[in-house]
Amino acid sequence: MAQLFYMSGFGNEFSSEDPRCPGSLPEGQNNPQVCPYGLYAEQLSGSAFTCPRPANKRSWLYRILPSVKHKPFTAVPCGNLTENWNEVEPDPNQLRWLPFTIPKSTEKKVDFVAGLHTVCGAGDAKSRNGIGIHMYTCNTSMVDRCFNNSDGDFLIVPQQGEILITTEFGKMMVEPNEICVIQQGMRFSVDVFGETRGYILEVYGAHFELPDLGPIGANGLANPRDFLCPVAWYEDRNVSTGYTIINKYQGKLFACQQDFSPFNVVAWHGNYTPYKYNLKNFMVINCVAFDHADPSIFTVLTAKSTRPGVAIADFVIFPPRWGVADHTFRPPYYHRNCMSEFMGLIKGHYEAKEEGFQPGGASLHSIMTPHGPDVDCFEKNSTAELKPERVAEGTMAFMFESSFSMAVTKWGLQTCQRLDKSYYQCWEPLRSHFNPNWKPSKK
């Protein structure tokens, strides 16, 4: 495959032309009477026209045929993709899933869209306020079909297998330990190269942005320069057998047919684009004295709510780093939280639960549900020598944290058959260390 090229920066004003058509971007205006090369001008708006300039998102696409040229949409089966948060009764327990099963290609061909499974979520796409968390498990590439999410943004976290994503803006190769964001309304197709699995955080009504740094200053965490955006690439291809556009709209799937490739954008400019990021570039901020800083210091991207400081969803990672805190129990502490915490593991062993929490699996600790280290982690780290040590070496765990109280789907609780019903037992052996006769040691 030919080398892919990218432009760097988060939320920048980009412009790109396919080098096969130099001069394809109009000069000095967006919508000339006749576009260069006889192209059509089409704007993709990711925000209201009247949003303040810092929040105003739009791009202009110059394409061989406009996206409006298609047959009518009709409803198609949604499979295990859902926005029905009332399928089963609420479950406040600590939940953990074994690695989600990837279908064998010898048994059934499953592409990215057919392999979407909703695990949990909350809110409503119609009112533009909520989230969904999905797994994708697939084994074959999308052929003459693409996906378009009218409901919100997809933050995609590959766990097994690289994915080649073709978008209207160009191509991106995304590997495990990288993430990508496909924003609302952008059409894309996914090629895979074997059995493939990953996680998706979907947000309605907000776009992901870099968190404010406050006292950290101007630099740190995910730096804007490390985000990569594709360069223009087009195909002028007629599809006589029909090209299928799959549209996720109000939580349901619809499909329409057209006789040409939707990836016919010769040039584009704007600040509303897909992008990717390599998690190894995250500049970790951490405690260097005692106690813990809150895990918000590991936030890569945030989708803000209308309440200051409260996120619809944060994407948080737990990367390799040094642990040096003195007089401190260093792993994550026992905790109850007003947020929902969905965790996944890309690779390695998570520090607080080295055995049961596996790559390709997940856990959910719902609002005010207690959680924390298992008994082995607690006992080991209560007596460990506190010397500088590498934490999470060879590991990458992450968290989708949300202010929404998420409901788990029937697929997540029952159909997938990956729920670890023994999860609670990892805390059962915790014993009392209380000593009413304890006295402080003399110094």
3-state secondary structure 30-47: CCCCCCHHHCEEEEEECC
The rounded percent of the chain whose pLDDT value lies above 90 is 94
Q: Residues within the annotated binding site?
A: 335, 341, 350, 371
Residue ranges at the known binding site for Fe cation: 335, 341, 371
- Is-contact 228 7, C-beta < 8 A? yes
* pLDDT exceeds 80 at position 351: no
**Average pLDDT over the chain, rounded to an integer:** 96
pLDDT at residue number 287: 92
Measured CA to CA in angstroms, residue 167 lies from 147, 288, 356 at distances of 10, 43, 37
Mean per-residue pLDDT, 407-418: 97
Evaluate if residue 6 carries a pLDDT over 70: yes
Instruction: Mention every residue, 6+ apart, whose C-beta is less than 8 A from residue 139.
Output: 102, 103, 104, 105, 109, 110, 115, 192, 194, 195, 196
Q: Is 292 known to be catalytic?
A: yes
pLDDT at 354: 62
Instruction: Please give the torsion angle defined by the CA atoms of residues 278, 315, 286 and 329, in that order, rounded to the nearest 10 degrees.
Output: -130
For position 396, what pLDDT does the model report? Answer: 96
Six token digits for residue 360? 């390709």
- Residue 323 has a pLDDT of 94
Per-residue confidence (pLDDT) for residue 442, from 0 to 100: 77
Average pLDDT over residues 176-205: 98
Q: Give the domains, in start order, of the chain with CATH numbers.
A: 6-279 (2.60.120.10), 284-420 (2.60.120.10)
Share of the chain above pLDDT 70, in %: 98
User: What confidence category does residue 441 fall into, taking pLDDT thresholds of 50, 70 and 90?
Assistant: confident
Using an 8 Å Cβ cutoff, are 266 and 64 in contact? yes
Residues 285, 283: Cα–Cα separation, whole Å: 7
Distance between CA atoms of residues 24 and 7, nearest Å: 18
Q: If you average pLDDT over residues 65-73, what whole number do you get?
A: 98
The pLDDT, as a whole number, for residue 400 is: 98
The predicted-structure confidence for 130-161, as pLDDT tens digits, reads as follows: 999 999 999 999 999 999 999 999 999 999 99
The residue among 89 and 357 whose pLDDT is bigger is 89
Q: Which residues are annotated as a binding site for homogentisate?
A: 350, 371
Give the per-residue pLDDT at 264. Answer: 98
CB atoms within 10 A of CB 179: 27
Structure confidence at residue 353 (pLDDT): 61
Q: What are phi and psi of 337, to 5 degrees?
A: -135, 145
Residue 352, pLDDT above cutoff 90: no
CB-side neighbour CA atoms (13 Å) of 318: 25
Query: In angstroms, what CA-CA distances link 30 with 44, 45, 235?
Result: 12, 14, 22
37 — alpha (psi -120 to 50), left (phi > 0) or beta?
Answer: left
Which residue among 117, 292, 349, 433 is the active-site one? Answer: 292
Q: For 273-304, what is each residue's pLDDT tens digit?
A: 999 999 999 999 999 999 988 999 999 999 99
- What pLDDT is attached to residue 186? 98
| pLDDT value for 350 | 79
Could you please report the per-residue DSSP string of 67-133?
Answer: TT-SPPPEEE--TB----TTSS----S-EEEPPPPPPPTTT----TTTTEEEEEEEEETTTTEEEEE
List the Cα angle 195/197/201 in 5-degree steps. Answer: 160
Contact 352, 365 (CB under 8 A): no
| 3-state SS assignment for residue 216 | helix
pLDDT tens-place string over residues 252-263: 999 999 999 999
201 pLDDT band, cuts 50/70/90, is very high
The Cα–Cα gap between 154 and 132 comes to: 9
Contact criterion met (CB below 8 Å) for 242 and 144: yes
Q: For residues 424 and 102, is the Cβ–Cβ distance under 8 A? A: no
The total number of residues written for the chain in this structure: 443
